[in-house]
């Protein structure tokens, strides 16, 4: 018997999908989910159930749940697990708040979108019994330290370019499923939440002398894909380090929508809550960590730190706002000159737009990029499927974006490398970015998931130039690919000097 019904109209969803589920009794077969999954995310139009042996392919972005008019597709709730942990005196519960959460939650309580409500959220969580509330902008700063160092290393040492950001798990899964031949382009740096969980269980527990097995880490996110990401085997670094390999670094991920329901269930007047501050050790991040929630924010934050790494100086004030890669644009591009190095960058959101860029990179149409940021959701995480979903349009997304850039403007610590908590974490624990321990705990690996499609790496045949051999005219080094390398890894000559064999 077929597992999935009406799959020409509705998206197939596996019953064990950790991000979204469907209640068939509410489905009116309107086709909206299929439409968004095909056109915006470019997933369900890339396979048939015959090809996949009746397995649904999903990158867990949750965008189908945003457009579902009846609530038939809903976010899988983890609230009950968190409630149980809060009720257990043996457990120490931490919450880590993603940047985009603070500027959207107000919408559910009649507060202007874009208003930063982080201090009310902290009070709310503390009143609920949460022991420590951290800002995931700390994890974002740590991600920037590693990712910017990785980019500089790839550029200087002839590594695979362009480097793709890897903090969006839906995008990572898209590459693993549809473009496994491009996996080497993904930064090995873990996402902010991937790092935050491991650092709480290893570093924070050490500083506070807490038994890490008592810690229950909860990520408060704008996202549904994070529920999938935290369950990846690769994100059990603390457990592996401590000899408890089944222990997850981040235990649960709850979305803004789940928290809003919980607040309403408790009858709390959210708007009237007083302000509180984040807890220390992994407290506040820098302004660079805050803008992570916007499309272009990861790129801008990484370039700020890459500038420091390459020149030993911070960028001039007028370069602090890279307007070319801010806002809502289909493919945003710019070049950033750092000393004698020019870094060409591109920023896209939605996996449909990312797919078009990937095809252009593979075919050689886009042949001089060093760094590419991809976020699966419209406008980046501010448009995540875990956010309040009422009246979401570009005007509302702009307000959320504006809220995070406003914070960037007024915050004193602008750079990840100047965050005192980050400096302490490196001094007392990791040593330096890309150290042996950093690579072990803060970096990750990816896997080829294309087997589900019934045909390995369908997209590798886009360009007939895939296997072109490029030869360095100075040392004879041979490079295989659609385009020459940025520079020869052996003698350093610029890639534009390479000749086709
Ligand atoms: S969007 Fe919702 S109601 Fe419409 S077909 Fe999909 S599941 Fe059914
Ligand atoms: S979560 Fe995303 S990929 Fe999965 S079915 Fe929904 S829209 Fe498609
Ligand atoms: S863009 Fe952000 S919210 Fe959307 S799937 Fe990626 S990480 Fe999650």
CATH at residue 486: 2.20.28.10
pLDDT in tens, 339-350: 888 899 999 999
Nearest ligand, measured from the Cα of 32: 1
Residue 458's pLDDT is 60
On whether both 300 and 365 belong to a single domain, the answer is yes
Whole-number Å distance, alpha carbon 30 to ligand 1 midpoint, is 5
Out of 267-281, 306-320, 406-420, which region has the weakest mean confidence (pLDDT)? Answer: 306-320
Residue 132 shares a structural domain with residue 149: no
Backbone angles phi, psi at 349, to 5 degrees: -135, 160
Co-location of 118 and 226 in the same domain? yes
pLDDT in tens, 445-456: 999 999 999 865
> 134 and 228: one domain?
yes
Indicate which ligand has the atom closest to the C-alpha of 293: 3
Ranges 114-118, 144-148, 470-474, 479-483: which has the least confidence:
479-483
Write out pLDDT tens, residues 22-55. Answer: 999 999 999 999 999 999 999 999 999 999 999 9
CATH label of the domain that carries residue 24: 3.30.70.20
Query: Which of 3-17, 101-115, 125-139, 200-214 shows the lowest per-residue confidence on average (mean pLDDT)?
Result: 3-17
CA distances from 364 to 120, 162, 332 (A): 49, 12, 18
Residues 133 and 172 in one domain: no
Q: Which residues are catalytic?
A: 147, 150, 167, 187, 226, 229, 234, 381
Asked whether residue 391 carries a pLDDT value surpassing 90, the answer given is no
Look at ligand 2, atom 8, and give the residue with the nearest C-alpha. Answer: 37
407 within domain boundaries: no
Among the listed ranges 223-227, 421-425, 456-460, which one has the minimum average pLDDT value? 456-460
pLDDT at 422 over 50: yes
Number of structural domains (the chain) is 4
Alpha-carbon distance of 164 to 346, in angstroms, equals: 10
- Assess if residue 282 is contained within a domain: no
Query: 390 pLDDT exceeds 50?
Result: yes
Specify the residue with its C-alpha closest to ligand 1, atom 1. Answer: 68
In this predicted model, what pLDDT tens digit does every residue of 311-351 receive, in sequence order?
A: 899 888 766 678 888 888 889 999 988 888 889 999 999 99
Q: 209 pLDDT exceeds 70?
A: yes
The DSSP code sequence of 185-199 is GB--BPPHHHHHHHH
452 three-class SS: helix
202 shares its domain with 126: yes
Q: Do residues 255 and 128 both lie within one domain?
A: yes
pLDDT of 192 > 60? The answer is yes
Percent of the chain with pLDDT over 70: 94
Cβ neighbours for 119, distance < 8 A, ≥ 6 positions apart: 275, 276, 277
Which ligand 3 atom is nearest residue 222's CA? 3
Which residue owns the Cα nearest ligand 3 atom 6? 168
* Backbone φ, ψ for residue 43 (5° rounding): -110, -60
- Expressed as residue numbers, the domain containing 480 is 464-500
Which of 11, 72, 74, 385 is the pocket-test mutation for ligand 1 (most atoms within 8 Å of CB)?
72
- pLDDT recorded at residue 460: 56
Q: What's the pTM value of the predicted model, to 2 decimals?
A: 0.90
Distance 88 CA to ligand 3 centre (A): 31
Confidence band of 288 (pLDDT split at 50, 70, 90): confident
pLDDT of residue 468: 74
Q: Which of the listed residues 37, 173, 223 should we mutate to test ligand 2's pocket, taking the one with most ligand atoms within 8 A of CB?
A: 37
Give, for 125, the enclosing helix (H) or strand (E).
helix 118-127
Same domain, yes or no: 262 and 382 = no
Neighbouring C-beta atoms of residue 281, cutoff 10 Å? 18
- Quick count: other Cβ atoms within 10 Å of Cβ 330? 12
Residue 152 sits in the same domain as residue 243: no
**Overall average pLDDT of the 472-481 stretch:** 78
Of 51, 75, 99, the one marking the end of a domain is 75
How confident is the model at residue 465, as a pLDDT? Answer: 46
Sign of CA dihedral 83, 87, 91, 97: positive
Residue 456 located in a structural domain: no
Specify the higher pLDDT residue, 442 or 4.
Answer: 442
Handedness of CA 13, 16, 18, 23 (dihedral sign): positive
What's 388's domain CATH number? 3.40.950.10
Could you tell me which residue, 390 or 181, shows the higher pLDDT?
181
Beta bridge partners of 189: 443
Nearest ligand to the C-alpha of residue 165?
Answer: 3
Q: Which of 99-108, 266-275, 459-468 has the lowest mean pLDDT?
A: 459-468
Report how far ligand 3's centroid is from the alpha carbon of 349 (Å): 10
In a domain, 133, yes or no: yes
332 with 202, same domain: the answer is no
Report the separation in Å between the CA atom of 160 and the middle of ligand 2, taken as the mean of its atom positions.
29
Residue 461 has pLDDT above 60, yes or no: no
Distance 53 CA to ligand 2 centre (A): 18
Nearest ligand to the C-alpha atom of residue 29: 1
Q: What is the pLDDT of residue 491?
A: 73
Of all protein residues, the one whose alpha carbon is nearest to atom 6 of ligand 2 is 64
pLDDT tens sequence across 163-186: 999 999 999 999 999 999 999 999
Which residues, listed in sequence order, are joined to residue 348 by a DSSP beta bridge? Answer: 374
Q: Which residues line ligand 2 (CB under 6 A)?
A: 11, 13, 20, 36-37, 41, 43-44, 58-64
Q: Which one of 41, 173, 376 would you pick to mutate in the ligand 2 pocket, going by the greatest count of ligand atoms within 8 A of its CB?
A: 41
Let me know: does 309 contact 152? Beta carbons within 8 Å.
yes
- Say whether both 217 and 177 belong to one domain: no
Quote the pLDDT of residue 4.
Answer: 83
Residue 65 lies in a domain: yes
Whole-angstrom CA distances from 420 to 97, 201, 220 are: 19, 20, 23
Span of 64-68, 120-124, 462-466 with lowest mean pLDDT: 462-466
User: Is residue 378 in a domain?
Assistant: yes
Point out the domain boundary residue: 29, 59, 75: 75
Q: Which atom of ligand 2 is nearest to the CA of 63?
A: 7
**How confident is the model over 196-209, as a mean pLDDT?**
95
Last residue of one domain, picked from the residues 239, 272, 305:
272
Using the predicted structure, report yes or no on whether residue 464 has a pLDDT greater than 50: no
Which single residue is written with the structure tokens 């089944």? 246
Q: Kindly give the number of the ligand 1 atom that is closest to the alpha carbon of 70.
A: 3
* 238 and 202 housed in the same domain: yes
pLDDT at 284: 73
**pLDDT band for position 482 (cuts 50, 70, 90):** low
Dist CA 11 CA 264 (whole Å): 30
Report the alpha-carbon distance of residue 270 to residue 52 in Å, rounded: 46
Kindly state whether residue 335 falls inside one of the protein's structural domains: yes
- 11: in domain: no
How remote is the CA of residue 246 from the centroid of ligand 3, in Å? Answer: 25
Q: What CA–CA distance (Å, rounded) separates 328 from 405?
A: 14
Give the lowest-confidence range in 52-56, 239-243, 478-482: 478-482
352-380: pLDDT as tens digits = 999 999 999 999 999 899 999 999 999 99
Ligand 1 lining (C-beta closer than 6 Å): 10, 22, 27-33, 68-70, 72-73
């Amino acid at each position: 018997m077929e597992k999935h019904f009406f799959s020409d109209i509705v998206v197939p969803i596996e019953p064990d999908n950790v991000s979204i589920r469907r209640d068939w009794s509410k489905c009116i077969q309107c086709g909206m989910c299929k439409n968004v999954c095909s056109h915006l995310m470019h997933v369900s139009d890339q396979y048939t159930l015959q090809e996949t042996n009746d397995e649904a392919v999903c990158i867990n972005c949750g965008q189908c749940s945003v457009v579902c008019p009846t609530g038939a597709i809903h976010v899988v709730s983890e609230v009950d697990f968190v409630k149980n942990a809060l009720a257990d005196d043996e457990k120490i519960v931490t919450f880590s708040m993603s940047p985009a959460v603070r500027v959207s939650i107000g919408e559910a309580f009649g507060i202007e979108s874009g208003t930063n409500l982080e201090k009310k959220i902290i009070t709310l969580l503390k009143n609920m019994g949460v022991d420590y509330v951290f800002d995931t902008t700390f994890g974002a700063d740590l991600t920037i330290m590693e990712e910017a160092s990785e980019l500089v290393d790839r550029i200087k040492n002839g590594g695979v370019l362009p480097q793709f950001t890897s903090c969006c798990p839906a995008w990572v899964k898209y590459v693993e499923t549809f473009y496994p031949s491009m996996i080497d382009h993904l930064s090995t740096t873990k996402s902010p939440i991937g790092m935050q969980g491991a650092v709480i269980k290893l570093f924070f527990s050490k500083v506070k002398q807490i038994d890490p097995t008592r810690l229950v880490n909860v990520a408060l996110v704008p996202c549904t894909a994070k529920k999938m990401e935290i369950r990846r085997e690769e994100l059990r670094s603390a457990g592996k380090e401590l000899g408890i390999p089944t222990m997850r670094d981040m235990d649960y991920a709850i979305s803004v929508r789940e928290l809003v329901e919980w607040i309403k269930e408790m009858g709390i007047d959210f708007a009237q809550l007083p302000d509180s501050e984040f807890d220390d050790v992994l407290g506040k991040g820098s302004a660079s960590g805050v803008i992570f929630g916007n499309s272009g924010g990861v790129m801008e934050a990484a370039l700020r730190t890459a500038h420091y790494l390459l020149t030993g100086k911070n960028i001039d004030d007028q370069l602090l706002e890279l307007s070319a890669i801010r806002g809502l644009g289909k493919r945003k591009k710019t070049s950033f000159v750092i000393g004698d190095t020019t870094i060409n960058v591109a920023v896209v959101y939605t996996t449909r737009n990312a797919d078009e860029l990937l095809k252009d990179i593979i075919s050689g149409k886009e042949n001089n990029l060093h760094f590419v940021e991809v976020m699966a959701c419209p406008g980046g995480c501010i448009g995540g499927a875990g956010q309040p979903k009422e009246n979401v349009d570009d005007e509302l997304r702009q307000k959320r974006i504006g809220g995070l850039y406003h914070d960037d403007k007024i915050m004193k610590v602008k750079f990840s490398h100047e965050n005192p908590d980050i400096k302490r974490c490196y001094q007392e624990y990791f040593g330096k970015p890309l150290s042996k321990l950093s690579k072990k705990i803060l970096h990750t690996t990816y896997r080829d998931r294309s087997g589900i499609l019934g045909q390995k790496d369908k997209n590798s045949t886009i360009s007939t130039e895939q296997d072109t051999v490029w030869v360095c005219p100075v040392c004879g080094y041979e490079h295989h690919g659609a385009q020459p390398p940025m520079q020869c890894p052996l003698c350093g000559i610029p890639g534009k000097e390479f000749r086709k064999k």
